[in-house]
Structure 1
Amino acid sequence: MTAASEERAATDKEMSILLVVTLVSMLLALVMTVIAWRVAREERRRSEARVAALAADIQTAVAASAVGMRAEPRLRAVTPTPISSGDLFAAGPSAASSRSVIVIGVGLFVFATAAALAVVLSSGLRTRTATAPAAPVLQNQPTPTTGANPTSSVPLELVALGHQRDGDRLIVRGVIRNPSSGGRTDRLTAVVFLFDRDGGFVTSGRASIEPAVLPPGGESTFLVTVPGAADVSRYRVSFRSDSGIVPHVDRRTRS
């Protein structure tokens, strides 16, 4: 009886310790979720402020270049036709980044809870079974896999676009953003195609986008100067990398 009482007391003490560990893990997961949400919200605010400032600079440059210049055919940017590639453009709006942060936080919470429960259950099995081989069974269970979409399926976002004339040259500038849910993009190039008023192709120009690496959540400006654009009426912007065309969506704010 004495040995049984001592064993029961030791088991109760161990279970109490495991319960405390479980509660601490859950609290830590909750705190990390709140911190991640606040960081994502502040990053989104800073990103929107940067985009607004860059767009204002572009509009100011366009307005300044138009003063004292001769009348030219009015140019209009052509919104590129989305490249048909299944559900390539099925990505949601910019709120996807905040949803991703929430999902990560919930994942941390679930992982911490599951780990604590696994420890509690394995400990209970060890104390109740004489030949206790059950613990390895719990440890060898497959961990959940995250079925994330390939990063290549997330298009870039065009958040600002403007143009101005300099003699017979056309200068096109804008802001491109890589979504937080996207993948790293290397050696990105902006390509501008020019068309006359009848829709005929006139010429094109391109320029590398700096920095050479655009990480997820990063933004960059681009500037392409195309000569021989006196008779141009429309233009179209696209983006390319070493592997080919990089899809993008129009996220410009409509005034």
Structure 2
Amino acid sequence: MTEPTHDEAHGGALGARLNWLRAAVLGANDGIVSTAGLVVGVAGATSDRSALLTAGLAGLLAGSLSMAAGEYVSVSTQRDSEKAALAQEKRELREQPEAELEELTELLEQRGLSRDVALEAAQQLTERDALRAHARVELGIDPDELTNPWHAAWASFLAFTAGALLPLLAIVLPPSGWRVPVTVVSVVGALVLTGWSSARLGAAAPGRAVLRNVGGGLLAMGVTYGVGVLLGAAGV
């Protein structure tokens, strides 16, 4: 049996790409909402452009670096777990190959193959590359494509930064009287896009996702703006 020669993504590869895209969309969404809430809150207290720029940049850098660090730690833990599982599987294949062959056969049977076909397939896969076969069928891991914490960290950093730039620019570029309205409209438009994108990537209806996304963003901006107005009025 010849293997396919085209480059279309299948199975785990496609799922991994969708997960990365979903993470990027959610990272951008976090950048939009958190930075918008911050700068709109400051705008409620003061109209000073330098204060708004300082607050927005601080929020952007703090948020993007926090996201990157958190993603690096999380994915590093996942990668360590994958490597430990592969090491254990390699040890079991060396110490009890018959039991591992039977285990692979049963896993293939659970996927719909008959006993005889599953046994033959398990034997052929074991002869070709036993560790790779068990990693993919039993563990759901591709030994050649372990999760990369640096890729995850950079992706989160860039996604959050891209999202945060929109409310930051929207609050500092317009004239004083237009800053908050322009920011709110821009943020709502961006949240519609990220809500629709996340829903489509998850194969869900976009309507509710968009409403939740926009509602959450408006709530965040409304609360922080109200607090900013109160603090500004109090002279804090």
TM > 0.5 fold call: no
Which has a greater percent of strand?
1
Q: Output the TM-score relative to the length of structure 1.
A: 0.35
Which structure's residues are more often helix, by fraction? 2
Structure with more contact order per residue of length (Cα contacts < 8 Å, sep ≥ 6): 2
- So what's the TM-score if we normalise by structure 2? 0.37
Q: Select the structure of larger CA radius of gyration.
A: 1
